[in-house]
Structure 1
Amino acid sequence: MNKVKIFAALILTASFFGCQIKNTTKRVQQKTAEKPNIIFIMSDDHAYQAISAYSDKLINTPNIDRIAKEGMLFTNASVTNSICAPSRAVILTGKHSHINGKIDNLSKFDTTNVTYPQILQKAGYQTAMFGKLHFGNNPKGFDEFKILPGQGEYYNPTFITQKGDTIIKGYVTDITTDLTLDWMKNRRDKNKPFMLMYLHKAPHRAWLPSEKYYTEFTKKTFPLPETLFDDYSTRGTAARTAEMGILKHMSLVNDNKLTPKTMKELGLEDWNNLGESLGRMTAEQRAKWDAVYGPINEDFKKRYPTMNDSTLTVWKYQRYLQDYLGTIASVDDNVGRLLNYLDEEKIADNTIIVYTSDQGFYLGEHGWFDKRFMYNESFKTPLLIKWPNKIAPGTTEDEMVQNLDFAQTFLEAAGVTAPTDMQGKSLVPLLTGKKETWDREAIYYHYYEYPAEHAVKRHYGIATKEFKIIHFYHDVNEWELYDRKKDPQEVNNVINDPAYAKVVQEMKQKLKDTRKKYKDSEELDNHYIEIYKK
Structure 2
Amino acid sequence: MTKILSTAFLLVVSVTAGAAGTPPPNLLIIQTDEHNFRTLGCYRQTLADQQAFVWGKDAVVETPAIDSIAQRGAICTSYYATSPVCTPSRAAFFSGRYPQNTGSWQNDRPLSGDIVTFAEVLRRQGYSTGYAGKWHLDGAGKPQWQPKRKFGFTDNRFMFNRGHWKKFELTADGPRVAARSKQGDPSYSLAGADQESFSTDWLSNRAMDFIRKHAGEPFCYHLSLPDPHGPNAVRAPYDQMFENTPIRPPATFQTEYPLPKYIGSGAKNAKLSFRADQMSLYFGMVRCIDDNVGRILALIDELNLTDRTIVVFTSDHGDLCYEHGRLNKGNPYEGSAKIPMIIAAPGKIPAGKRIDQALGTVDFAPTILSLMEMDSPDGIEGRDASALLVGNADQPSWDDVTFLRSAGSKPGWLAAVSDQYKLVVSVADVPWLFDLKSDPDELINHAGDPEHAADLQRLAQAMVAYAQASTDPHMESSEISSALKSLVQ
Q: Normalised by the size of structure 1, how large is the TM-score?
A: 0.74
Contact 1:149 / 1:158 at 8 angstroms: preserved in 2?
Answer: no
Give 1:32 shift.
9.5
Q: Which residue of 2 aligns with 1:179?
A: 206
Q: Which residue of 2 aligns with 1:248?
A: 271
Instruction: State the alpha-carbon separation in 2 of the partners of residues 165 and 27 from structure 1.
Output: 34
Instruction: State the alpha-carbon separation in 1 of the partners of residues 402 and 381 from structure 2.
Output: 11
Contact 1:126 / 1:189 at 8 angstroms: preserved in 2?
Answer: no
437, 441, 457: which one pairs with 2:396? Answer: 437
Residue 460, structure 1, aligned to residue 414, structure 2: yes
236, 239, 242: which one pairs with 2:260? Answer: 236
Amino acid at match of 1:194: F
CA 1:175/1:65 → structure 2, altered by over 3 Å: closer, same or farther?
Answer: same
Contact 1:218 / 1:322 at 8 angstroms: preserved in 2?
Answer: yes
Give 1:53 shift.
0.9
Give 1:51 shift.
0.4
Instruction: State the alpha-carbon separation in 2 of the partners of residues 229 and 65 from structure 1.
Output: 31
Contact 1:362 / 1:377 at 8 angstroms: preserved in 2?
Answer: yes
Q: Secondary structure at the match of 1:201?
A: strand
Query: Root-mean-square deviation (CA), in Å?
Result: 2.7
Q: What does residue range 50-61 of structure 1 map to in structure 2 within 5 Å?
A: 50-55=39-44, 57=53, 58-61=60-63
Instruction: State the alpha-carbon separation in 1 of the partners of residues 467 and 418 from structure 2.
Output: 14
Amino acid at match of 1:108: P
Give 1:328 shift.
0.8
Q: Which residue of 2 aligns with 1:141?
A: 152
Instruction: State the alpha-carbon separation in 2 of the partners of residues 240 and 210 from structure 1.
Output: 35
Contact 1:77 / 1:402 at 8 angstroms: preserved in 2?
Answer: yes
Contact 1:354 / 1:385 at 8 angstroms: preserved in 2?
Answer: yes
Instruction: State the alpha-carbon separation in 2 of the partners of residues 488 and 368 from structure 1.
Output: 17
Q: Which residue of 1 aligns with 2:92?
A: 90
Structure 1 gaps, min length 5: 1-23, 250-312, 452-456, 527-534
CA 1:338/1:522 → structure 2, altered by over 3 Å: closer, same or farther?
Answer: closer
Give 1:43 shift.
0.5
Offset from partner CA, 1:443-489 (integer Å, 9 cap, x none) = 111112378xxxxx82112012332111112xx35321112222121
Q: Secondary structure at the match of 2:131?
A: strand
Q: Secondary structure at the match of 1:439?
A: coil
Q: What does residue range 80-479 of structure 1 map to in structure 2 within 5 Å?
A: 80-136=82-138, 137-138=147-148, 139-145=150-156, 146-156=158-168, 164-167=174-177, 170-185=197-212, 187-188=213-214, 190=216, 192-233=217-258, 235-245=259-269, 248-249=271-272, 313-314=273-274, 316=275, 318-434=276-392, 436-449=395-408, 458-473=412-427, 476-479=428-431
Q: Secondary structure at the match of 1:211?
A: coil
Contact 1:177 / 1:334 at 8 angstroms: preserved in 2?
Answer: yes
Offset from partner CA, 1:295-337 (integer Å, 9 cap, x none) = xxxxxxxxxxxxxxxxxx34x2x12211111111110000000
Give 1:503 shift.
4.2
Q: Secondary structure at the match of 2:289?
A: helix
Offset from partner CA, 1:84-119 (integer Å, 9 cap, x none) = 111111111000011112111132222222211111
Contact 2:116 / 2:377 at 8 angstroms: preserved in 1?
Answer: no
Give 1:207 shift.
1.4
When Rg is computed on C-alpha atoms for both structures, the one with the higher figure is: 1
Amino acid at match of 1:449: G
Residue 41, structure 1, aligned to residue 41, structure 2: no
Give the length in aligned residue pairs: 425
Give 1:228 shift.
1.4
Contact 2:108 / 2:136 at 8 angstroms: preserved in 1?
Answer: no
Instruction: State the alpha-carbon separation in 1 of the partners of residues 234 and 449 from structure 2.
Output: 46
Q: Secondary structure at the match of 1:202?
A: strand
CA 1:358/1:29 → structure 2, altered by over 3 Å: closer, same or farther?
Answer: same
Amino acid at match of 1:173: T
* Bigger shift: residues 165-174 or 487-496: 165-174
Amino acid at match of 2:404: Y
Amino acid at match of 1:154: K
Offset from partner CA, 1:166-207 (integer Å, 9 cap, x none) = 34572000000111111222x3161x3111101111101111
Q: Which residue of 2 aligns with 1:269?
A: none
- Greater helix proportion: 1
Give 1:427 shift.
2.8
Amino acid at match of 1:408: P
Instruction: State the alpha-carbon separation in 1 of the partners of residues 415 and 470 from structure 2.
Output: 12
CA 1:322/1:188 → structure 2, altered by over 3 Å: closer, same or farther?
Answer: same
Give 1:390 shift.
1.8
Instruction: State the alpha-carbon separation in 2 of the partners of residues 174 and 332 from structure 1.
Output: 11
Contact 2:261 / 2:429 at 8 angstroms: preserved in 1?
Answer: no
Q: Normalised by the size of structure 2, how large is the TM-score?
A: 0.80
CA 1:525/1:130 → structure 2, altered by over 3 Å: closer, same or farther?
Answer: farther
Instruction: State the alpha-carbon separation in 1 of the partners of residues 381 and 14 from structure 2.
Output: 36
Instruction: State the alpha-carbon separation in 2 of the partners of residues 243 and 140 from structure 1.
Output: 37
Offset from partner CA, 1:237-286 (integer Å, 9 cap, x none) = 223423453x725xxxxxxxxxxxxxxxxxxxxxxxxxxxxxxxxxxxxx
Contact 2:370 / 2:384 at 8 angstroms: preserved in 1?
Answer: yes
Instruction: State the alpha-carbon separation in 2 of the partners of residues 31 and 125 from structure 1.
Output: 18
Structure 2 gaps, min length 5: 1-12, 45-51, 54-59, 139-146, 179-192, 479-489
Instruction: State the alpha-carbon separation in 2 of the partners of residues 359 and 438 from structure 1.
Output: 28
